[in-house]
Structure 1
Amino acid sequence: MKYINIKWISLIALIVSTLSSCESDLEIVPIELQVLEQVFDTKDSAGVNANRFLTDCYRHLPETGNRVGGDFLDAATDDAVSSNPTNTSVQQLAMGTFNADSYPDNLWTTCYQGIRKTNIFIQNIDRVPLKGQLANGTPLRRVWKAEARFLRALFYFELVKRHGGVPILGDKVYRLEDDIELPRSSYAACVEYIVQQCDAITDSLRMDPFDLPNYGRPTKAAALALKSRILLYAASPLFNGGNIAGQNPLTGYPNFLAERWQHAEEAAKQVMDLKLFRLEPEFKSIFITRNSERIFSKQGGNNTSLENNNGPVGYTSGINNGRTSPSQELVDAFGMANGREITDPASGYDPNDPYTNRDTRFYATIFYNGATWLSRAVQTFEGGADKPGGTRQQTKTSYYLRKFMGNFESAVNYSSVNHDHILFRYAEIVLNYAEARNERLQVPDALVYQAVENIRRRAGLMPFELPKGLTKVQMRDAIHKERRKELAFEEHRFYDVRRWKIAEEIFNKELHAAVIYQTGTGTIRQSIPILKMNFQKRMYLAPIPFYEVIKNPKMEQNPEW
């Protein structure tokens, strides 16, 4: 087996990525020195090569969608299973059948590649006599440097949310002769570093998130959104007093501090106070148009990738691989249009007509038997066009993923729609604020109610108001449920359940599928078990990659890995 540590990964990545945009004659002299001279040209007042280098750093941003072995990360939660009949990566995540050498969602390498590249940029951009400034007078060099620092902070967040404390490299660019056997920084130090980076750059970034010539570059709002997310995680039970390794500073704080919830609340409020964003009236449009709910995205372009990967399999128009099978548990989590849960006797839910009068987010998230798509009804009954049986990959649950797809209900073919990777959107910020404020207070106040009810109002619930007089625990439950419905398949559920430290309960359950039979006298529906999830305490944090631990004696592994 071949082991690679941070030093070699980073150097190789630098050489490969920069060579791809530079002339071949650079191989004549020492590569790293010559690359720096070429990229950070002391005569390039337009910063053409430097900007190209910075743009290349964006490649390392995380993506969403079918990215974990071809599946959504949410197919490793109680919200879905993979339709693939083999033992997929997400099934290994759901079942815990992985080890430190085979973690299916390992971003260690790509994040540290991104960190090294941004450090190189930050260290060298001042050599470029860059002209230009923003309308507010901020020099372009300062803006670009702030963008690189944002990217670096986001790379660290992706590592910290998976592993806890990780090595913080600062601004240093390590070379082959340097001692790279660095220990992990404490969880607290990592959180402090990310927050400090966000605070330091907010006044240097662009303000307008809808500036099309620079769309996809981080703005002040993006930095504040990242700060909101990391502080929400830091305040949550898994890290704030619920450390899975007791006093181990690598895996969380050794003590609980209520003020951490206040810091998370204030960070979310900073984004809200910008008054730049809103909850889009049409839920489906958030994901296929560039709109005023998006805070920061990795550009994915216009295509039909989501439709091809996840569309119901029985259509001849386009490629339909039906990769994602939402669970019956997720379907049941969506309540009725009147705002009540389906278990409420007053909700009007009819088990013989289960898809009528549901929360509008249900229709925007899930294909069900009878839904309209490409000018016909989806058929997920046994033997139907979209659940034909046999060896073809198809739904395991009688449901397919609808979210993120274009509006092709009345079309006959797919056409390209926007499929950017949305990393931060305003609805998350509103829910972050509601959660943090509710946890800080003894009893939820009007501002907590308002935040949650704004989400429910946009969903079209009527009435959208929550019952008055909820306790803190009852409001917590309501917020958790809204996050599940609102943010489904956006890679929050996997980490939310962990940071709430309830995964040993929620992710140790059996998931269910619907089985639907069409008979001459009507429709018969059954619920059957489809997958028994398995969650062990050690899975709250991902293992440090084995190749890092074996190469670096100072790299402490996470508990029980």
Structure 2
Amino acid sequence: MATGSWRADNNPMDNWQYLRASWQYLNQFLEISENVEWARDQVASDLFKKRFQGDAYGMRALYMYHLLMSCAGWSADGQLLGIPILKESENINSDFNKPRNTFRECLDQLNQDVEKAIEMLPEEYGDVNGASNVPAKYTQMGADPSQYNRVFGDHAKNRMSARVARAIRAQAALLAASPAYSEGSGVTWEQAANSMAEVLANLGSNPIENIDPTGNKWYEDANGIKNLVAGYNRPEFLWRSNKNESADLEKDQYPPSLFGKGRVNPSQNLVDAFPSLTGYPISDPKSGYNPQTPYANRDPRLALYIIYNGSKAGTDKSVITTAFDGSNNDAMNKFDGASTRTGYYLRKFLDMNVNANPSNTTNGYHIKPWIRYTEIFLGYAEAANEAWGPQGTGSNSYSAYDVIKAIRKRAGIGENGGDPYLESVKGDKDKMRELIRNERRLELCFEGFRFWDLRRWKVDISKLNETVKGMKITGTNHEVVDVEKRDYKDYMYYGPVPYSEMLKFDALIQNKGW
């Protein structure tokens, strides 16, 4: 895909069919659910109907967000289009040849679905004690604590909630306010910032005080993950998957010497994005960066997320040698299909207590974040900087500068208790934008954001086509080498409507260039 094969009929990112089918099922459910007796107790039945319908509206909003990310785009005649909006289920007699609605209309539909989800669902699930703790919207339906707990209690935690629905709305607002979409969406950076702030209000009147101090390395707490009660979240997580006990992730990502397949090879481009320990970019002379000892005195997140030459990994803390002249299959390009192509292996997400040896495999517990508070903090920082500048707060109590200061402090970078590089850019909106985008790149690396971020920011095409670099180490020599060329075209800031759909339905308009 990245090397020139991305086409409307060859799209690895295509989710049109799957998510449109999901919309169909949700529409069917919303129609049928009105006539279902969910419980013999009438109040409980009404509460279940609220919960299930709220679930459906929230999921419909989520699917719309992902469809807009992957399929929205500008037509040849200058319209910013989304998808055909379907609010009723289809049958064999339906007219399937429907035009795409505008991006704005799709966003309005998403926001309407979010409002319905918020109206129907609790802020968070959990048992309550006493009638005074039952939310008012449910006491008005006649619910007592027993009935409320039956429907919205601890057993239902980690489902779609009002809190999650607000986060989906905030994600969509950030997308819509971004340079690739803002001209046709009508959404401002101020609106996006306030949507993010509404979600962060979950953490208190000054959310920054409650940022999770271990939120950038949650996966290292193996026992904490193991002991999570179903549905309960770590402070970093707004929404997550269920925990899973396996060694699959480690088998896929460990270096070969640890019996892994080394599938993800981080790039030198990403490694270079991690600043020095003092917080200065390594391109800045004040960083003290030495290209012959490139991993010394670096941002601690580099060692948290990436295995580099000399890193220790695995149950026995083995030294991993990725150097080109290394003696085992961990070495760069040593063994086709498992050895690193870039000089790096993935560390993020992995449980180093897992043994992937086929003769003595041990499992670990993993959870996948769907929405992290760090994502929301960074979304707020991005939008707030654009709306009010680095230190502006709008109607909120904290600025983009405040957020980035807290995130970098948590990461352990800076000097003498301060962050001189951050202080040097806090008065410059453009430099702060660059820093915020880089912090987003680092904090959310390997979580599926970067491809979408670069495109919604409408970065110069040369950035999309930046050659993937690697580090070739031979003896004491460190050489940055080309690994893979990129071949994106200008029109690829937006994805295509599937070619198969264009053949079937002439009412559809394709995005320009596809």
* TM-based fold match above 0.5: yes
Do the aligned partners of 1:408 and 1:414 also contact (CA within 8 Å) in 2?
A: no
1:505 to 434, 437, 462: 462
Q: How far apart are the structure 2 equivalents of 1:169 and 1:425?
A: 29
What is the CA distance between 1:532 and its match in structure 2?
A: 1.7
What is the CA distance between 1:125 and its match in structure 2?
A: 1.2
Instruction: Report SS of the residue matched to 1:274.
Output: helix
**2:341 counterpart letter in structure 1:** K
Residue 225 and residue 560 in structure 1: after superposition, are their counterparts in 2 closer, same or farther (change >3 A)?
same
What is the CA distance between 1:455 and its match in structure 2?
A: 1.2
The question of 1:400 aligning with 2:340 is answered: no
Structure 2: state its 5+ residue gaps: 73-80, 127-152, 226-232, 393-397
2:410 to 446, 450, 458: 458
The question of 1:115 aligning with 2:57 is answered: no
TM-score by length of 2: 0.81
- Tell me what 1:145 maps to: 53
- Tell me what 2:229 maps to: none
Instruction: Report SS of the residue matched to 1:528.
Output: strand
What is the CA distance between 1:347 and its match in structure 2?
A: 1.8
- Tell me what 1:541 maps to: 494
Residue 399 and residue 433 in structure 1: after superposition, are their counterparts in 2 closer, same or farther (change >3 A)?
same
After superposing on structure 2, the runs of 4+ consecutive aligned residues of structure 1 that deviate more than 4 Å are 135-138, 209-212, 409-414
Instruction: Report SS of the residue matched to 1:324.
Output: coil
Q: Deviations over 1:379-407 (max 9, x none)?
A: 11123321271434321011011111113
Q: How far apart are the structure 2 equivalents of 1:378 and 1:544?
A: 44
What is the CA distance between 1:486 and its match in structure 2?
A: 0.6
Q: Deviations over 1:33-86 (max 9, x none)?
A: xxxxxxxxxxxxxxxxxxxxxxxxxxxxxxxxxxxxxxxxxxxxxxxxxxxxxx
**1:494 counterpart letter in structure 2:** F
Worse-superposed segment, 160-169 or 412-421: 412-421
What is the CA distance between 1:410 and its match in structure 2?
A: 10
Instruction: Report SS of the residue matched to 1:453.
Output: helix
What is the CA distance between 1:286 and its match in structure 2?
A: 4.9
Residue 501 and residue 136 in structure 1: after superposition, are their counterparts in 2 closer, same or farther (change >3 A)?
farther
Structure 1: state its 5+ residue gaps: 1-91, 242-251
Output aligned runs, 1:352-363, within 5 Å: 352-363=292-303
- Tell me what 1:88 maps to: none
2:105 to 177, 184, 189: 189
- Tell me what 1:4 maps to: none
Do the aligned partners of 2:273 and 2:281 also contact (CA within 8 Å) in 1?
A: yes
The question of 1:325 aligning with 2:265 is answered: yes
What is the CA distance between 1:172 and its match in structure 2?
A: 0.5
What is the CA distance between 1:443 and its match in structure 2?
A: 5.5
**1:334 counterpart letter in structure 2:** F
Worse-superposed segment, 320-329 or 387-396: 387-396
The question of 1:235 aligning with 2:177 is answered: yes
Instruction: Report SS of the residue matched to 1:488.
Output: coil
Do the aligned partners of 1:239 and 1:499 also contact (CA within 8 Å) in 2?
A: yes
Instruction: Report SS of the residue matched to 2:188.
Output: helix
Q: How far apart are the structure 2 equivalents of 1:515 and 1:209?
A: 51
Worse-superposed segment, 433-442 or 382-391: 382-391
1:125 to 25, 33, 36: 33
Output aligned runs, 1:424-435, within 5 Å: 424-435=371-382
Q: How far apart are the structure 1 equivalents of 2:272 and 2:160?
A: 37
Instruction: Report SS of the residue matched to 1:454.
Output: helix
Do the aligned partners of 1:153 and 1:197 also contact (CA within 8 Å) in 2?
A: yes
Do the aligned partners of 1:342 and 1:349 also contact (CA within 8 Å) in 2?
A: yes
1:470 to 407, 427, 451: 427
Worse-superposed segment, 387-396 or 452-461: 387-396
Q: How far apart are the structure 1 equivalents of 2:40 and 2:430?
A: 53
Output aligned runs, 1:30-429, within 5 Å: 92=1, 94-131=2-39, 139-164=47-72, 165-208=81-124, 213-241=155-183, 252-253=184-185, 260-275=188-203, 278-282=210-214, 283-286=216-219, 289=225, 290-299=233-242, 301-316=244-259, 320-374=260-314, 375=316, 376-382=318-324, 383-385=326-328, 386-387=330-331, 389-408=334-353, 415-429=362-376
Instruction: Report SS of the residue matched to 1:527.
Output: strand
Do the aligned partners of 1:544 and 1:558 also contact (CA within 8 Å) in 2?
A: yes
Q: Deviations over 1:432-455 (max 9, x none)?
A: 111111111256336221111121
TM-score by length of 1: 0.75
Residue 480 and residue 171 in structure 1: after superposition, are their counterparts in 2 closer, same or farther (change >3 A)?
same
Q: How many residues align?
A: 447
Do the aligned partners of 1:96 and 1:539 also contact (CA within 8 Å) in 2?
A: no
Instruction: Report SS of the residue matched to 1:202.
Output: helix
Q: Deviations over 1:504-559 (max 9, x none)?
A: 131122221101123xxxx2211111112122111111111111110001011111
What is the CA distance between 1:212 and its match in structure 2?
A: 5.7
Instruction: Report SS of the residue matched to 1:295.
Output: strand
What is the CA distance between 1:417 and its match in structure 2?
A: 3.2
Residue 411 and residue 495 in structure 1: after superposition, are their counterparts in 2 closer, same or farther (change >3 A)?
closer
**2:501 counterpart letter in structure 1:** E
- Tell me what 2:132 maps to: none
Do the aligned partners of 1:336 and 1:357 also contact (CA within 8 Å) in 2?
A: yes
Worse-superposed segment, 361-370 or 403-412: 403-412
Q: How far apart are the structure 2 equivalents of 1:442 and 1:390?
A: 50
Residue 481 and residue 424 in structure 1: after superposition, are their counterparts in 2 closer, same or farther (change >3 A)?
same
Residue 137 and residue 486 in structure 1: after superposition, are their counterparts in 2 closer, same or farther (change >3 A)?
farther
**1:269 counterpart letter in structure 2:** A
**CA root-mean-square deviation:** 2.6
